[in-house]
Amino acid sequence: MLIQDIIRRKRDAEVLDADAIHTFMRGVTDGSIGDAQIGAFAMAVMLNGMTRDEAIALTEATRDSGQVLRWDDLYLDGPVLDKHSTGGVGDLVSLVLGPWIAACGGHVPMISGRGLGHTGGTLDKLEAIPGYDVTPSDARFRQLVKDVGVAIIGQTGTLAPADKRLYGVRDVTATVESLPLIVASILGKKLACGLDTLVMDVKVGNGAFMPTAEASRELADAIVAIGSGAGTPTSVLLTDMNQPLADCAGNALEVHEALRLLQGGGCSTRLYQVTHALATEMLLQSGLASDAEDAETRLDRALASGEALERFSRMVHGLGGPSDLAERPAHYLAPAPFTTDVVAPRAGTVNAIDTRALGLGVVELGGGRRNAGDAIDHRVGLSHIAALGQRVDAGQPLLRLHAASRADAEAVTRHLSAAFTLGEEGSVAPALPIHATLRQEDLS
């Protein structure tokens, strides 16, 4: 089958069969297809879309382009499951969720990424911990998944290699926004981990990856249908990102907050609510809990007993970090040299937050990357971020800024202050943390 014929057919809005799609993706993987042909194919998909069956075939071809992890030889005593988020600000859910699920009997081989644009990356947070190795050997990774129940690492070159090449071309050909290509990229990597079940967290709001609520819902529907169609039961929670999920953003600061939750603090926060909802869905979908009440009991017990925190500590130590991080976080997580408060210019109620602007503020402080090779300052970030609906007086802090220097702090203060819209009390009702839960049976 000629590659140019596959491209022509998709250019002309014809439906490709699974063999054609797998042939194309094999060429992407082995290098027999050039970047020009990859770009032409991506643009044809961008303009003409894909049917559900085509998108499933593309996802399966992405998954199968490299190693697909198998766990049957380890004789695990529970299901293999994972969660993935489209990213946000103050979204440290993975740091808490993985160990929490492990403490409930699951096995979580979590392949995570770095920060992208205004969103923080799980790997960047974990690398705030001295010695933590995000690229362990396959043997070490598998052993931790078996013995500890969770290991959070970076993507290896053997998992879904076609996605890396295809994404690189999409990034420079204005085809990143294509829904079938987005879904195949997300799910191809996750399903290569050999999961029994997957729960996705798709963000909605001004700090979300997708530009509108409608686009987020469309992505969620596609992920449920295509993930399940590719053989892995998949559900999605639509969660709010019109304000940071935690009241902090920045790598070391978010590790501190994860430890606080795992130690039983912060159970009234939006972060806890979203993490608990995702954990509940994972337990239900995998069969680890019989119903919502059973899931609640198991999660409460895992947190109150200290088992979830112990799993986190064992994971950190197993990947090269300190064994006593939970007991001495201040010893290992260095603070920023300079802190200052960004204060409200007048009294009012926080009626809107430009979440993206706060995330970009962290990047400007050095806590994220402007370019792929940039080094990250794990110490910097924001804390004590005012919440939607919160009343503030003139001169009262809207957030605390953690910077490498006074000059760095002054460079972003005005932008961060402008991210908050103050108005009359009660004029805007903050959205619920969970907008909706979508499962395969919910799709028409």
Residues tagged active-site = 82-85, 122, 170, 185, 189-190
Q: Structure tokens of 247? A: 């009241």
Secondary-structure percent of the chain, ordered helix, strand, coil, rounded to 5: 45, 15, 40
Instruction: Enumerate residues 6+ apart whose C-beta is below 8 A from 242.
Output: 204, 205, 206, 207, 352, 353, 355, 388, 430, 431
The neighbouring-strand residues paired with 396 are none
Instruction: Enumerate residues 6+ apart whose C-beta is below 8 A from 154.
Output: 111, 112, 113, 114, 123, 134, 135
What is the C-alpha to C-alpha distance for residues 217 and 225, in angstroms, rounded to an integer? 12
Distance of CA 416 to the CA centre of its chain: 24
What is the C-alpha to C-alpha distance for residues 123 and 95, in angstroms, rounded to an integer? 10
Q: Structure tokens of 251? A: 């790598």
The neighbouring-strand residues paired with 108 are 150
Query: C-alpha dihedral over 324, 101, 191, 209, to 10 degrees?
Result: -80
Answer whether 92's CB lies under 8 Å from 271's CB. Answer: yes
The candidate with the shortest Cα–Cα distance to 24, out of 12, 36, 32, 15, is 32
Coil, strand or helix: which one is 330? Answer: helix
Query: Strands across the sheet with 338-343, in order?
Result: 338-343, 397-403, 381-383
